Chains A and B, each alone.
Chain A
Amino acid sequence: MMRRLDANQITTIVVWAALLTAPLWVNSVGGYMALASRVVVLGLAAMSINFLLGFTGYMSFGHAAFFGLGAYGAGFTLKLLAANTLLSLLLGSLLGGVLGALFGLLIVRRRGVYFAMVTIAFGQVFYFIAYRWNNLTGGDDGLRGFSRAPLHFGPITIDILNNAIAFYFFILACFAVITGLMGLILRSPFGHTLLAIRENEQRARFLGIPIERHVWASFSLSCFFMSFAGALYALLNNFADPSNLYYVMSGNIVIMAVLGGIRSFWGPLLGAAVFVVLQDYLSSITTNWMSFVGLLFVLVVLFFPRGLLGFVHTRGPQRDTAAG
């Protein structure tokens, strides 16, 4: 008898079907390739923060700092080291990931509101550095003068600089790698421990689980993933600038995760898609798009706190009860 596909697997199939075929249908719905690429990159960012938020239960509101660090890291690499796209991705994510790990050590004992406030403030520190350290980062003008380099695999050259579709698939490939990694981690015993911490931290502590170490690891990993997304973003724009680190960016990424559903693996990607497309569409037809986006935040929090995919539980031993 054929095993019934669970909701998770169905979602995964639908998501990948949509992503892979995007170049075929994106223009007919009034979109364009750069928009699709942006959805994927910000979707990755939203999924990265959800690693910490939805799966470990810790709210960081300063995560844009790592997004920006990834962007600047990639930019510096392309500008100062070598015109090598893969290297820029690696170094960009390392920059954010390592700094995130270090920063995580400082704050891992905080909880709840205090944790959130500290992450907000520290996020602003990094924004501040990017903004003020003019000579290095270009300050308010941003880091310019670099662009993604075509990929060379032996005899094959993929021109991701000028070919929007090729670049989209490159981003998708990176997305696949990182989300695959995320999925593997979440399915592992480590991932299950994170869920335990999310559900009831005190009980997990009584069970002897070293909470701080796990939280730190989760935080560092989410910073690494977030920086990777930031590096991709720099490649998308051929530009890195301080607003990538600003707390408004943090807020936008969190709302994407919440909108899509923080208890769902693919939720944040869907949330990112809705948010990016809505913002793109609204800002073309009205200058008051900010009010609508703000209204979206309010409505999601009040009426859709579980998000669009929130009715699907992801994995594991929890039984969904009617009280939900």
Chain B
Amino acid sequence: MTNFTFSRSMRRRSLLKASAAAALLPLARPFVISARAADTVKIGMVNPITGVYSAPATSEVEGAKFALAELNKNGGILGRQVELLVEDSANDVGTGVQKARKLIDRDQVNFILADVNSAIAYAIAGVTNEKKILHIVPGGHTDPITGKDCKWNVFRVCNTTAMDSNAVASTLIEKFGKKWYFLTPDYAYGHTLQEGFVKNLTAAGGEYQGDLLPVGTADFSASLIKAQQYGPSVLLNIMGGADQVNSLKQFVQFGMDKKMAVGGALYELENMRAVPKEALTGWWTMEWWWDQPNVPHVKEWVAALKAATGKTPSARHWFGFVGVHSCALAAAGAKELDAAKMAHAMEGMKLPPEIALQPGDVAFRAGDHELMPSIFVGEAHAAPAGGESDDMFKTQTLVPGDKAAGPAEATGCKVEWPA
């Protein structure tokens, strides 16, 4: 038998420590729970608010909160007020899945919006499918979510890689030429995006070379040196996040912008704000852009959002905004909160113009649950001195989403409804 002796002072110290630890325990009880009204409709949002995707994630949350305020002012969902519960997935799949379960099991949310990180969005889709909760992916880009792994309860707002590459490829070919060099991030998103571009290029009889680079590459000189030697007409920069920022900066620092054009798919506003003005160049796609002078509702919305958040809204704000409103529209269409009925209502559902905030018809396609907005193809440029600081993109063409996306059957999606 183990014998231990300890002095009285030690026992007292230990007791104090134990009580201190025990005092922490009540903190583990979220007092918020009891204050929650039982008859509100709840939307759960999981996003990587900390970590490398913090900037786009925060924008999406801001857009969602703006939509929430609007919604509640106009009567909420099915006459009930709406609550938005935001959880941080910390850019970690385990945490994201756990938070999704928390929102569904403990907080009893009726909808889930998740996640900027497409791997997390994918994993959470597994949970929402199991629990039969309507799940809208505002800004997670991996293709299988509305492709071969599509699910009846999952819908997506942002574009697929096919949409983006098909939208801009012809512009790049016509304007600059058919000899391309790729800077591709070495993961699923990068691979599929490059494939999309290559398909367009080879159909036009072009040629290409490229480098597959690790995500998180800080220095692109080696690849840029190779690109310089190859002498393409366009450098296809399809890196994301900070990598895109760094590669564009270095591209311009090396003076390569005088030797070749640069372009690619997404060059998000959050990224544009992070580069020095010389790196604001090239031809890109935007999933939504704030500067649409002749389109009704846009100017007011942009002004209202700027007043609420202090910044000009980006496509990410719009994703969050559309996400929350889509929940309301789905419920209105189904006239109840049953996930299957709402999902049926969402198939083919068109967004009203004050939510679509762009010309043309914007609807969730039934075949793959993908939203079909227009894709803004245009040129990046430095903000005019003395003008609007976020005026960094000039839209040239608006490519209809469904035209760029190709037929729904080609995505490999087969929606299977529950029994």
Task: Decide: A277 and B123 in contact? CB cutoff 8 A.
Answer: no
Question: Does A144 sit at the interface, judged by CB under 8 A?
Answer: yes
Question: Does A112 sit at the interface, judged by CB under 8 A?
Answer: no
Task: Decide: A233 and B94 in contact? CB cutoff 8 A.
Answer: yes
Task: Decide: A140 and B87 in contact? CB cutoff 8 A.
Answer: no
Interchain CB contact (< 8 A) of A320 among B4, B27, B50: B4
Task: Decide: A141 and B17 in contact? CB cutoff 8 A.
Answer: no
Task: Decide: B4 and A6 in contact? CB cutoff 8 A.
Answer: yes
Question: Does A280 sit at the interface, judged by CB under 8 A?
Answer: yes
CB-CB < 8 A to A324: which residues of B?
6, 10
Question: Does B73 sit at the interface, judged by CB under 8 A?
Answer: no
Report the bound CA distance from A134 to B91 in whole Å: 19
User: Known interface pairs A287-B88, A290-B50, A324-B6. Does A30 touch B187 (Cβ–Cβ under 8 Å)?
Assistant: no
Task: Decide: B105 and A32 in contact? CB cutoff 8 A.
Answer: yes
Report the bound CA distance from A30 to B118 in whole Å: 29
Q: Interface digits, A286-324 against B, CB 8 Å rule (1 contact, 0 not)?
A: 010110000000000000100010010101100110101
Interface size class of A (residues with CB under 8 A): 35 or more
Q: Interface digits, B14-56 against A, CB 8 Å rule (1 contact, 0 not)?
A: 1001100100100111101100000000000000011000000
Report the bound CA distance from A140 to B4 in whole Å: 51
Grouping DSSP codes into helix (H, G, I), strand (E, B) and loop, the B interface class, with mixed when no group exceeds half, is: helix
Q: Interface digits, A133-155 against B, CB 8 Å rule (1 contact, 0 not)?
A: 01000111110110100000000
Task: Decide: A141 and B118 in contact? CB cutoff 8 A.
Answer: yes
Report the bound CA distance from A243 to B91 in whole Å: 9
Nearest CB in chain A: distance from B290 CB, A: 25
CB-CB < 8 A to B149: which residues of A?
145
Q: In chain B, residues 169-223, which have Cβ atoms closer than 8 Å to a Cβ of chain A?
A: 186-189, 191, 214-215
Question: Does B388 sit at the interface, judged by CB under 8 A?
Answer: no
Q: In chain A, residues 112-170, which have Cβ atoms closer than 8 Å to a Cβ of chain B?
A: 131-132, 134, 138-142, 144-145, 147, 162, 164
Choose the segment among A53-61, A77-85, A210-218, A234-242 that binds chain B (4+ C-beta atoms closer than 8 Å). Answer: A234-242
Task: Decide: A320 and B102 in contact? CB cutoff 8 A.
Answer: no
Write the chain A residue with the least CB distance to B7. A322
Interchain CB contact (< 8 A) of A162 among B93, B130, B142, B189: B130
Report the bound CA distance from A225 to B27 in whole Å: 32
Question: Does B126 sit at the interface, judged by CB under 8 A?
Answer: yes
Task: Decide: A320 and B92 in contact? CB cutoff 8 A.
Answer: no
Question: Does B5 sit at the interface, judged by CB under 8 A?
Answer: yes
Nearest CB in chain B: distance from A124 CB, A: 12
Question: Does A23 sit at the interface, judged by CB under 8 A?
Answer: no
Question: Does B311 sit at the interface, judged by CB under 8 A?
Answer: no
Question: Does A244 sit at the interface, judged by CB under 8 A?
Answer: yes
Task: Decide: A287 and B102 in contact? CB cutoff 8 A.
Answer: no
Nearest CB in chain B: distance from A165 CB, A: 11
CB-CB < 8 A to A263: which residues of B?
none
Nearest CB in chain A: distance from B107 CB, A: 9
Q: In chain A, residues 256-291, which have Cβ atoms closer than 8 Å to a Cβ of chain B?
A: 274, 277-278, 280-281, 283-285, 287, 289-290
Interchain CB contact (< 8 A) of A34 among B92, B98, B186, B215: B98
Nearest CB in chain A: distance from B51 CB, A: 9
What are 21 A-B interface contacts by the 8 Å CB criterion?
Answer: A6-B1, A6-B4, A30-B106, A32-B106, A141-B119, A142-B93, A147-B126, A237-B123, A238-B97, A238-B123, A238-B126, A239-B93, A241-B93, A281-B28, A283-B90, A284-B88, A290-B50, A304-B17, A311-B6, A322-B9, A324-B6
Q: Given A32-B106, A280-B98, 10 more contacts at CB 8 Å?
A: A34-B101, A131-B215, A138-B188, A139-B188, A141-B187, A142-B123, A144-B119, A233-B94, A278-B27, A311-B17
- Which B residues lie at the A interface, using CB under 8 A? 1-7, 9-10, 13-14, 17-18, 21, 24, 27-30, 32-33, 49-50, 87-88, 90-95, 97-99, 101-102, 105-106, 118-119, 122-123, 126, 130, 142, 149, 186-189, 191, 214-215
